[in-house]
Amino acid sequence: MKEEIQAYDNVLALVGKTPIVKLSKATKELRGNFYGKVEAFSAGQSAKDRIAMHIIEAAEKKGILKPGSTIVETTSGNTGFSIAMVSAIKGYKCILSVSDKSSPDKIDMLRAMGATVYVCPANVAAEDPRSYYEVAKRVQQETPNSIYINQYFNELNTEAHYLSTGPEIWEQTGGKITHFVCCSGTGGTISGTARFLKEKNPNIQILGVDAYGSVLKKYHETGELDPNEIAPYKIEGLGKNLIPTATDFSVIDKFMKVTDKDAAQTARELARTEGLFLGYTSGAVLQATRQYAAEGAFDENSVVVMLFPDHGSRYMSKIYSDAWMEQQGFLDGEPKNEITYIK
C-alpha cells in the first residue's frame, strides 16, 4: 500500500497565513474585544516573510533574478532573515546591511542563515555614506547580477500586505474588525493592510504606532519632516528618521508614540499573561492600544486587531535580559522570577 507523505515541499509553504489569538488577561481592563495577529507563526517568525516572498517572486517573474543572483537589502534584521530564508531555498546569495542597534542575536541569525552582513551606525543621517541605506546601495552597484530590495521605497512591500495580511484579517474576523493597531517602520504592513481593510469597510480605524525620536507621527499631522523630532531610541524596527514612500499616510487615521521602557515592559508582560513570547514592537503595539483605550478609542462592540510583528527569540540579549533592562533603567516594577542553582 502506498503511504501518503504529509509534507510541505519546503519551508516557504509556511509563509504567512498566521493565526489571530484572543487576548484576555493583558486587555481585561480595556473596553472591547482584542485579538493579536501573531506573525511569529510564519516560517521565518516575522511579518517580513510576506514581503521577501512577494518582492523576490515578482523579480523572478520579470526575469531579473536567476539562480546565483545576489539580493541586497537594508534591514533591522527581520527582513534580512526572511530574504536569507527565501534565498537559501531558491539559490540566491544574500548581502545585508543592518543598523548597529540590531540585537546581536538578530545579526548572528542572519549569518546562520547564510547571509553576508554589514553592521552600520544607527545614529547617522540617511545620506551619510556609513548609513545602512548608503552601504546597501553601494554594495548593489558594485555587485554584478544583483538586485536591491529597497523595502522603504518599494511599493511591492505595501502590496504584499494588501494581498495577504489584509485579506487574512478580514476573513479571520468575519468582516467584524473595527480597529487595526499596527507599527510603522517602512509602513508596508500598516499601509497595505489598511488599504485592503478600508476598501472593504472605510469605517475601520487604522491606528499607527510610532516611537519617540521618530518623525512619522508629526509628518502625518503636518505633512512636514521635522528634524527636531529625530532622537536616538531603543525599539528596533519601529519609527523612522525619514519618510518612506512605502507608507501611505492617507489610509492611517492616527499615530500614537510609545516609550522604550513601556514597550519593553509590555512585551515582557505579554509573555507572562498571554503566553505569547514576542518581540519588542509587539510590546509597543499593546502599549499603544492601551494608550488609545485611555483616550476612549474603543467601546464594548469594538473588535480590535493588533499586529504583533515578530518572535521574542530575537531579543534575548535585550528586553528578555534582566541585565540589559537594568542598564536601561527599565527593570523597576518588573516581577523577578527566581533562578535557583542546585550545587
For ligand PMP, the binding residues (CB under 6 A) are: 76, 78, 183-190, 236-238, 279, 281, 309-310
Give the count of beta carbons closer than 10 Å to the beta carbon of residue 92: 24
CA dihedral of residues 153, 156, 157, 158 (deg, nearest 10): 100
Nearer to ligand PMP, 146 or 151 (CB): 151
Nearer to ligand PMP, 166 or 279 (CB): 279
Per the annotation, the verdict on 234 as an active-site residue is no
Catalytic position from the list 2, 25, 28, 48: 48
Nearest approach, Cβ of 161 to ligand PMP (angstroms)? 7
Nearer to ligand PMP, 248 or 310 (CB): 310
Nearest approach, Cβ of 254 to ligand PMP (angstroms)? 16
CB-closest chain residue to ligand PMP: 237
Cell of 93: 546569495
Nearest approach, Cβ of 301 to ligand PMP (angstroms)? 28
Nearest approach, Cβ of 181 to ligand PMP (angstroms)? 12
Nearest approach, Cβ of 149 to ligand PMP (angstroms)? 12
334, burial (CB in 10 Å: exposed 0-12, middle 13-18, buried 19+):
middle
Distance (Å, whole) CA 237 – CA 81: 13
Nearer to ligand PMP, 69 or 186 (CB): 186
Nearer to ligand PMP, 36 or 185 (CB): 185
Q: Which residues are catalytic?
A: 48
